[in-house]
């Protein structure tokens, strides 16, 4: 009786640390295995950059710089990847003149499948009274000549999807400076953007 009572406790005490160590090892191995699989998939897929560009752009609308005009452009996104797709959330777009933001707005969310080209029509309203007097004079002179040297910048949060894996990234694109005409009919110019994807 006393024997059978005495024997169980030591075995229980001996087993418990063994079990927790086993569980810890299994969990560790699973984590390492998962990381390894992710790394292998990542290396096998090697996501390529997105390529943003701008097809025609123009500035239309009222007369003045601090007035009522609109910057139109066609933003083109090319996804050269075979296995990577993108889910864009809001993309903020702005058009600057000599470093001053003159127009801004955003593009509605869209999904870009693999090996796809998507073109988005962008209309940016004018930012009120943004130019200093000197810049405003220069802008007016360029408008009188028919074109203004503008730069377009786009920044968008997105999800990058590789199979079942999804990672958050930010895409930034800088386009120009390039000549933007004040007539819609003359607005056909192709501009490649410097496109980057960052964390
Ligand atoms: C622009 O507006 C000014 C007054 O604000 C006017 O004198 C001028 O004629 C206008 N120019 C054009 C091209 O509409
Ligand atoms: C701006 O344009 C809109 C429509 O094109 C017009 O209704 C409005 O009066 C204009 N505002 C100014 C300040 O010119
Ligand atoms: C445009 O710029 C203004 C002023 O910087 C900012 O308040 C606004 O949120 C911007 N709009 C968009 C759509 O990014
Ligand atoms: C790109 O994807 C969009 C959205 O799924 C689709 O509407 C469009 O037709 C695709 N374009 C090409 C060239 O495959």
Does the CB atom of residue 106 touch ligand 3 within 6 A?
yes
Query: Which ligand 4 atom is the nearest neighbour of the CA of 118?
Result: 1
pLDDT of residue 13 exceeding 60: no
Percent of the chain past pLDDT 70, that is, above it, reads 86
The structure tokens 């090319």 sit at 78
Does the CB atom of residue 105 touch ligand 3 within 6 A?
yes
Spacing, Cα 64 to ligand 1 middle (Å) = 7
DSSP-derived 3-state class of residue 53: strand
pLDDT on residue 45: 67
175-194 residue pLDDT tens: 999 999 988 776 567 899 99
Instruction: Please state, in angstroms and rounded to a whole number, the distance separating the CA atoms of residues 172 and 123.
Output: 19
Spacing, Cα 92 to ligand 4 middle (Å) = 21
Does the CB atom of residue 144 touch ligand 1 within 6 A?
no
Query: Of 100 and 164, which is predicted with more confidence?
Result: 100
pLDDT on residue 185: 73
33-91 residue pLDDT tens: 999 988 887 777 677 889 999 998 999 886 555 568 899 999 999 999 988 999 999 99
Structure letter (DSSP) for residue 127: P
pLDDT of residue 16 exceeding 90: no
pLDDT of residue 4 exceeding 60: no
Average pLDDT over residues 129-142: 85
Which ligand neighbours the alpha carbon of 113 most closely? 4
Spacing, Cα 27 to ligand 1 middle (Å) = 73
CA distances for 38 relative to 149, 156, 166, angstroms: 45, 25, 11
**pTM of the predicted protein model:** 0.75
Residue identifier of the C-alpha nearest atom 14 of ligand 3: 105
Question: Contact 105/123 with Cβ under 8 angstroms?
Answer: yes
Query: Of 158 and 44, which is predicted with more confidence?
Result: 158
Residue identifier of the C-alpha nearest atom 11 of ligand 1: 63
Instruction: Please state, in angstroms and rounded to a whole number, the distance separating the CA atoms of residues 157 and 90.
Output: 6
Average pLDDT value over all residues in the chain: 86
Instruction: Please state, in angstroms and rounded to a whole number, the distance separating the CA atoms of residues 86 and 196.
Output: 14
pLDDT on residue 3: 53
Spacing, Cα 72 to ligand 2 middle (Å) = 17
Pick the closest to residue 158 from 198, 116, 117, 118 (CA basis): 198
pLDDT on residue 40: 82
Helices (H), 64-162: 133-145
pLDDT on residue 105: 95
91-105 residue pLDDT tens: 999 999 999 999 999
Beta-bridged to residue 193, according to DSSP, are 175
Which ligand neighbours the alpha carbon of 155 most closely? 3
Average pLDDT over residues 128-150: 86
Spacing, Cα 113 to ligand 4 middle (Å) = 7
């Amino acid at each position: 009786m006393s024997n059978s009572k005495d024997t169980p406790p030591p075995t229980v005490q001996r087993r418990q640390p063994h079990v927790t160590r086993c569980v810890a090892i299994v969990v560790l191995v699973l984590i390492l295995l998962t990381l390894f699989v992710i790394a292998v998939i990542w290396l096998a897929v090697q996501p390529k950059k997105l390529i943003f560009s701008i097809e025609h752009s123009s500035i239309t609308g009222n007369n003045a710089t601090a007035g009522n005009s609109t910057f139109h452009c066609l933003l083109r996104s090319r996804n050269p990847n075979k296995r990577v797709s993108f889910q864009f959330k809001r993309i903020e777009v702005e058009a600057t003149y000599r470093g001053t933001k003159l127009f801004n707005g955003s593009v509605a969310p869209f999904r870009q499948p693999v090996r796809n080209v998507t073109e988005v029509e962008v209309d940016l309203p004018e930012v009120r009274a943004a130019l200093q007097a000197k810049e405003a004079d220069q802008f007016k002179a360029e408008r009188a000549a028919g074109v203004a040297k503008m730069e377009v910048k786009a920044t968008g949060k997105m999800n990058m999807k590789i199979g079942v894996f999804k990672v958050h990234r930010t895409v930034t694109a800088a386009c120009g400076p390039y000549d933007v005409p004040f007539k819609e009919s003359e607005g056909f110019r192709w501009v490649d953007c410097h496109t980057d994807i960052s964390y």
